[in-house]
Amino acid sequence: MRPVAISVDAPEISRDLSNKAGYSFTILSDPNAEVIRRYDLLHVRGGPDGHDIARPAEFLVDSSKVVRWVNFTEDIRVRAKADEMLAAAKGLPES
Amino acid sequence: MRREWKQDEKSELFHNVDLPFTRHEVVRFDSGTLRADMQDVIERPSISAVWWGFALALSAMLCNMAFFIQPPAQQSIPWLSLSLALVALVFVGKGLWQVFAPPRIRRGRILGSILSIFSLLLVAVAVFTFFSARALPRSASAPQVGQKAPDFTLADTTGRPVSLDQLFAPAADGNSPKAVLLIFYRGYW
């Protein structure tokens, strides 16, 4: 399973974050929130200074690009459990 | 110990709040029925309810720290925080009533008031945080299980465009990922 993080942060900001935190996974930038809108995750003025951002959500997508598991947090402070994601990923057939 | 109290002794006895004996001992004296206001004078006013309210309000706020240690049943932490805040409100109300409602004497009003104000502030922050953390869009049209994930092409940290298809490309070890986990996050970290 390949984790890919997406936010409105610019590539430079994501690169800093990735370096500081030692992340090895891919981080993509959606500065105009186009893809965020496509996935209907836009949180209007949800960010600091009233910027539009994504609401937190995770999608597990298989190799045929079908969604196999989703997580929409009700509370931004509650993080998705890693074990839930892994269980969903384990249930997928080998590609 | 039984003793007949003379009237003037009684009034002198209850003039000062700091009495050498407890209320319970006074009641045992064979002094006739104590008047209601004398009983209130003897009783030591306590602002323990306000202290409890403050402790509960503080706990409601500290619940937010719990998210960082990622305990099990994380989803219940916001509700615990809200419940603690509301119970704190009840205790603060009770405490203020104890201190201010007649015919209590003036004891603990200043400390009680200060603690109450702090507690109410903490409660307000806890309640506000609860609601603002949940003020999220409905996302009714977001792809659900079984639906196709919309295609996209976005820049990675080096500025290179990456498409959803490319995310499934083989990695350095030659294996393709059997799934991709798209993690949309708020950003502005």
Structural domain total, chain B: 1
Domain membership flag for residue B12:
yes
Say which residue the tokens 């009237």 belong to. Answer: B7
Predicted structure pTM score: 0.74
* Residue spans per domain, chain A: 1-55, 56-95
Closest CA–CA distance from residue B115 to any residue of chain A (Å): 28
pLDDT tens-digit profile of B135-185?
Answer: 999 999 999 999 999 999 999 999 999 999 999 999 888 889 999 999 999
pLDDT tens-digit profile of B23-54?
Answer: 444 444 444 455 544 554 445 556 688 899 99
pLDDT: which is higher, B81 or B10: B81
Contacts of B72 by beta carbon, 8 Å cutoff, 6+ apart: none
Counting residues of chain B whose pLDDT is more than 90, the rounded percentage is 47
Domain membership flag for residue B94:
no
Size (chain B), residues: 189
DSSP string, A6-65: EESS-HHHHHHHHHHHT--SEEEE-TT-HHHHHTT-EETT-SGGG--EEPPEEEEEETTS
Q: What is the ipTM of this complex?
A: 0.92
Say whether B184 and A55 touch across the interface (CB within 8 A). yes
Query: CA-CA distance, B110 to B115, in Å (whole number)?
Result: 9
Contact B76, B34 (CB under 8 A): no
- pLDDT in the model for residue B158: 94
Closest CA–CA distance from residue A6 to any residue of chain B (Å): 5
Establish if B3 touches chain A: CB-CB under 8 angstroms.
no
Say whether B155 and A39 touch across the interface (CB within 8 A). no
Q: Tokens at residue A37, please? A: 């809108």
Say whether A57 and B152 touch across the interface (CB within 8 A). no
- pLDDT in the model for residue A30: 96
Query: CA-CA distance, A65 to A39, in Å (whole number)?
Result: 13
The residue segments making up the domain with residue B34 are: 7-42
Domain membership flag for residue B69:
no
